[in-house]
């Protein structure tokens, strides 16, 4: 049985802010975000790599933060749902989820929005199929998904218009 | 959920990782993408004393074309293969990479980790069983290369010694009029398939010159179905022949009944998947571009 006293020094940039910490190797990224940085917007759902409620971006890529050790994020950039809002303005994805009723209880919403963010960064004009594929790893037990698809399509449209300045 | 405490080691090279495994003994495990290992550790099905992290090794993730072969670095993520125009030269590899679990898992999971885990429901081994695939294993005595058939020994068991690791995977690009397809039947994206079928056919005119048919999730290891292959070999391909091949695959499957379905249900599923995969493989062998996606319940 290994001793549980090992601590590993990590430097993780979360939503633009650098955090230096000494962590236990078994500390999961989601626990690091929630318990040590008080960023409780990232939710723990199934805790078994299924539901996607804990999705964050790790170096720009969507990952299930319940299935990444914090030590693996050493030197990396993490974006959580708290990083979406800028200067008091909701991100277009957040606004579209609200406008399109893309959430009900809201538990899965942070994870869904982070999956949507990865999609829209790489694919500004996603097809319905691409939207479905992008959030296939996110489970929602309230909405039936239709309004989530609408929200992501709406966000894509608004982000394209903003990028074109019209 | 927390896994049991473990001691963490970060390898800078594959060689160093193998040396660490030799030093630490059988209580040490490698951490690649972690998409199977971390859940297993959280559920306490696995409690290694030591983890050797491979994720900080540079140059272990690549896709290269070389002398008619595709070579993959062991840490190449499923998502990288999904998006790679080089890997798309063997369409069945794209079918596989694009269908594994979901975006989040594909962003982390690796081809080396998937083969080394040898989960009977895993996708890569089944697909690569239809191609000429070699796995390079690195250990204290150096590298050795094994055919995939010899590498996968049993459920969750490979030919790797405790201090060896997968250092590369190489696949021969099929020559001539060749086409393949991989189809998995899944209840939802993040779960393992209920059953899967991989086929690779090579035609000469309309005659089937080479055939490889492998089934996933219906045995302890991916099963190559020789009976189904010989139903096609040397013959001019028609619908009746495809039905015969699918029937042979159905008969050869040895599925276990579980929460995903009864044995009989899975045998029916295998026949249907083989039929569809053969049809797509044929179209591809004839030069048609066909997009494939897994089938969801």
Question: Which residues lie below 8 Å from residue A95, measured CB to CB, with a gap of 6+?
Answer: A155, A158
Distance from CA of A50 to the nearest CA of B (A): 6
Do residue A26 and residue B50 have CB atoms under 8 angstroms apart? Answer: no
Instruction: Give me the mean pLDDT over the A120-126 stretch.
Output: 97
ipTM for this model? 0.96
Q: In this structure, are residues A64 and A107 in contact, taking their beta carbons and an 8 Å threshold?
A: no
B103 in contact with chain A, both atoms CB, cutoff 8 A = yes
B35 in contact with chain A, both atoms CB, cutoff 8 A = yes
Q: What confidence tier does A3 reach under pLDDT thresholds 50, 70, 90?
A: low
pTM, to two decimals:
0.96
| Closest partner CB to B190 (pick from A50, A62, A68) | A50
Output the CA angle B61-B62-B67, nearest 5 degrees.
Answer: 145
Q: In this structure, are residues B124 and B96 in contact, taking their beta carbons and an 8 Å threshold?
A: yes
Q: How far apart are CA B257 and CA B269, in angstroms?
A: 13
CATH numbers and ranges of domains, chain A: 8-83 (3.10.20.30), 92-164 (1.10.150.120)
Q: Which residues pair with B182 in a beta bridge?
A: B198
Pick the CATH number of B63-172 from 1.10.10.10, 3.30.465.10, 3.40.50.1000, 3.40.50.360: 3.30.465.10
Q: How far apart are CA A109 and CA B196, in angstroms?
A: 32
Identify the CATH number of the domain defined by range B7-53.
Answer: 3.30.43.10
Q: How far apart are CA A106 and CA B46, in angstroms?
A: 33
Per-residue pLDDT tens digits for B56-67: 999 999 999 999
Distance from CA of B43 to the nearest CA of A (A): 8
Q: How far apart are CA B244 and CA B247, in angstroms?
A: 5
Residue B189, pLDDT > 70, answer yes
Q: In this structure, are residues B57 and B33 in contact, taking their beta carbons and an 8 Å threshold?
A: no
How many CB atoms neighbour CB A157 within 10 A?
Answer: 14
The structure tokens 């080691």 sit at B9
Phi, psi of B60 (to 5 degrees): -100, 5
Interface of A with B in 44-103 (CB under 8 A): 47-52, 55, 58, 61-64, 66-69, 71-72, 74
Contacts of A6 in chain B (CB under 8 A): 5, 7-8
Q: In this structure, are residues B192 and B184 in contact, taking their beta carbons and an 8 Å threshold?
A: no
- Of A62, A73, A151, A117, which is closest to residue B53 (Cα–Cα)? A73
Residue A2, pLDDT > 70, answer no
Contacts of B42 in chain A (CB under 8 A): 47-48, 66
Residue A1, pLDDT > 70, answer no
Per-residue pLDDT tens digits for B223-278: 999 999 999 999 999 889 999 999 999 999 999 999 999 999 999 999 999 999 99
Do residue B105 and residue A49 have CB atoms under 8 angstroms apart? Answer: yes
Identify the CATH number of the domain defined by range B177-287.
Answer: 3.30.390.50
Do residue B5 and residue A72 have CB atoms under 8 angstroms apart? Answer: no
Per-residue pLDDT tens digits for B20-72: 999 999 999 999 999 999 999 999 999 999 999 999 999 999 999 999 999 99
Contacts of B48 in chain A (CB under 8 A): none
A8 in contact with chain B, both atoms CB, cutoff 8 A = yes
Which has more confidence, A34 or B238? Answer: A34
Break chain B into its structural domains and give their ranges.
7-53, 63-172, 177-287
Instruction: Give me the mean pLDDT over the B206-217 stretch.
Output: 96
Do residue A71 and residue B53 have CB atoms under 8 angstroms apart? Answer: yes
């Amino acid at each position: 049985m290994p001793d549980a006293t090992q601590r590993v020094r990590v430097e993780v940039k979360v939503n633009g802010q650098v955090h230096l910490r000494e962590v236990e190797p078994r500390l999961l990224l989601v626990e690091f975000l929630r318990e040590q940085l008080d960023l409780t917007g990232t939710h723990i759902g199934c805790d078994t790599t299924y539901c996607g409620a804990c999705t964050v971006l790790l170096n720009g890529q969507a990952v299930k933060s319940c299935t990444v050790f914090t030590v693996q994020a050493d030197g990396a950039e993490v974006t959580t749902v708290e990083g979406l809002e800028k200067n008091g303005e909701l991100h277009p994805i957040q606004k579209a989820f609200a406008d399109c009723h893309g959430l009900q209880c809201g538990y899965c919403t942070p994870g869904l929005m982070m999956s949507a963010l990865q999609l829209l960064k790489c694919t500004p004009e996603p097809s319905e199929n691409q939207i479905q594929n992008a959030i296939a790893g996110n489970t929602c037990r309230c909405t039936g998904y239709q309004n989530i698809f609408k929200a992501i399509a709406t966000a894509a449209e608004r982000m394209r218009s903003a990028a074109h300045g019209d | 959920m927390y896994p049991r405490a473990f001691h963490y080691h970060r390898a800078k090279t594959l060689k160093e990782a193998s040396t660490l495994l030799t030093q630490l003994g059988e209580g040490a495990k490698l951490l690649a993408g972690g998409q199977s290992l971390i859940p297993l550790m959280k559920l306490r099905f696995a409690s290694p004393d030591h983890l050797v992290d491979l994720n900080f090794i540079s140059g272990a993730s690549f896709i290269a074309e070389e002398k008619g072969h595709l070579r993959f670095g062991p840490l190449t993520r499923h998502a990288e293969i999904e998006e790679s125009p080089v890997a798309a030269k063997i369409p069945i590899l794209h079918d596989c990479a694009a269908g594994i679990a979901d975006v989040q898992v594909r962003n982390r999971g690796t081809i080396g980790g998937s083969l080394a885990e040898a989960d009977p429901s895993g996708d890569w081994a089944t697909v690569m069983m239809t191609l000429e695939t070699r796995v390079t294993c690195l250990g204290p005595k150096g590298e050795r290369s094994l055919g995939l058939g010899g590498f996968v020994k049993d459920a969750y068991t490979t030919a790797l010694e405790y201090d060896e690791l997968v250092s590369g995977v190489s696949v021969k690009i099929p020559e001539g009029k060749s086409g393949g397809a991989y189809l998995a039947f899944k209840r939802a994206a993040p779960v393992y398939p209920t059953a899967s079928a991989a086929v690779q056919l090579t035609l000469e005119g309309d005659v089937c010159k080479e055939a490889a048919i492998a089934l996933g999730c219906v045995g302890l290891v991916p099963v190559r179905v020789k009976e189904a292959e010989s139903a096609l070999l040397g013959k001019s391909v028609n619908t009746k022949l495809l039905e015969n091949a699918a029937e042979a695959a159905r008969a050869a499957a040895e599925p276990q009944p579980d929460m995903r379905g009864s044995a009989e249900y899975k045998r029916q599923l295998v026949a249907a998947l083989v039929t569809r995969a053969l049809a797509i493989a044929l179209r591809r062998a004839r030069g048609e571009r066909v997009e494939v996606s897994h089938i969801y319940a």
